[in-house]
């Protein structure tokens, strides 16, 4: 069985590693980014109707400023983000299935949303104002193992581009991508690039498990 390379930063790395190992996979953890808080100015909560949360990192790294906006209901992009929001004391109004587009499709367009986000984010056409509360910083010299024969699970376009930058020899490495955008960002030359059925960690790991049970090319 092929080994699985996980590249996402903490705390998601630990969660993905635990789930993958529970599936019987052999895991190599090598984060390409680390998450850190960003100082931000807390706006007047009366100017908004709800919060938009697209990552659990927003509530993990938002700091003391979160207290001033906890009365606002939260729309969370997925279950992990919703769980982190509830643990932090927020009232979650709606939980999406992992896609921002799907979540915004069920949010009333009239709502004035405050998006607590990272530096690299996707915005919609809704009435959204964004505050950057965290950033993902590239690890300068990630301790990547020899890539031959591995399956790499890739969670974001940034990770995909970074992996492509530092992996010149890739024809015997298979990629499990969480979305079509991530697959495109991986570039060409890999043994194969497959896309998860849904844009969430469980679906990505299910795909990775399938690839891990295939043989690399001779």
| 71-90 residue pLDDT tens | 999 999 988 899 999 999 99
| Mean pLDDT (whole number) for 136-163 | 95
CA-CA distance, 218 to 214, in Å (whole number)? 12
| Mean pLDDT (whole number) for 14-29 | 97
Strands 128-138 and 33-37: antiparallel
Of residues 165, 126, 175, 130, the one with CA closest to residue 32: 165
By three-state DSSP, how is residue 18 classified?
Answer: helix
Asked if 4-32+139-212 and 35-135 have one fold, the answer is yes
pLDDT surpasses 90 at 11: no
Q: Residue 119: what pLDDT? A: 87
Q: Can you count the helices (H) and strands (E) in the chain?
A: 7, 11
| Mean pLDDT (whole number) for 86-102 | 91
Give residue for tokens 């960690």: 201
CA-CA distance, 110 to 213, in Å (whole number)? 48
Structural domain spans, the chain: 4-32+139-212, 35-135
CA-CA distance, 202 to 196, in Å (whole number)? 9
| 189-201 residue pLDDT tens | 999 999 999 988 9
The arrangement of secondary structure in 4-32+139-212, i.e. its CATH architecture, is 3-Layer(aba) Sandwich (3.40)
Identify whether the C-beta of residue 95 lies closer than 8 Å to the C-beta of residue 74. Answer: no
pLDDT surpasses 90 at 101: no
Query: Quick one: which H or E segment has residue 50?
Result: strand 50-53
Instruction: Look up residue 138 and give its two tokens.
Output: 């590239």
| Mean pLDDT (whole number) for 51-56 | 94
Domain 35-135 has CATH 3.40.50.10090: yes
Mean pLDDT of the chain: 93
């Amino acid at each position: 069985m092929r080994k699985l390379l996980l590249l996402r930063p903490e705390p998601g790395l630990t969660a993905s590693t635990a789930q993958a190992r529970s599936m019987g996979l052999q895991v190599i953890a090598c984060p390409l980014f680390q998450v850190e808080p960003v100082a931000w100015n807390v706006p007047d909560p009366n100017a908004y109707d709800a919060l938009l949360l697209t990552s659990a990192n927003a509530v993990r790294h938002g700091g003391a400023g979160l207290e001033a906006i906890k009365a606002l209901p939260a729309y969370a992009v997925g279950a992990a983000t919703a769980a982190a929001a509830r643990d932090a004391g927020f009232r979650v109004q709606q939980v999406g299935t992992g896609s921002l587009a799907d979540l915004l499709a069920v949010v009333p367009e009239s709502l004035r949303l405050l998006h607590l986000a990272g530096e690299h984010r996707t915005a919609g056409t809704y009435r959204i104002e964004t505050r950057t509360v965290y950033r993902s910083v590239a690890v300068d010299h990630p301790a990547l193992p020899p890539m031959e024969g591995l399956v790499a699970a890739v969670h974001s376009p940034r990770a995909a581009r970074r992996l492509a930058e530092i992996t010149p020899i890739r024809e015997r490495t298979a990629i499990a991508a969480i979305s079509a955008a991530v697959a495109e960002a991986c570039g060409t030359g890999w043994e194969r690039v497959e896309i998860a059925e849904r844009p969430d960690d469980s679906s990505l790991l299910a795909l990775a498990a399938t690839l891990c049970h295939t043989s690399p090319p001779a």
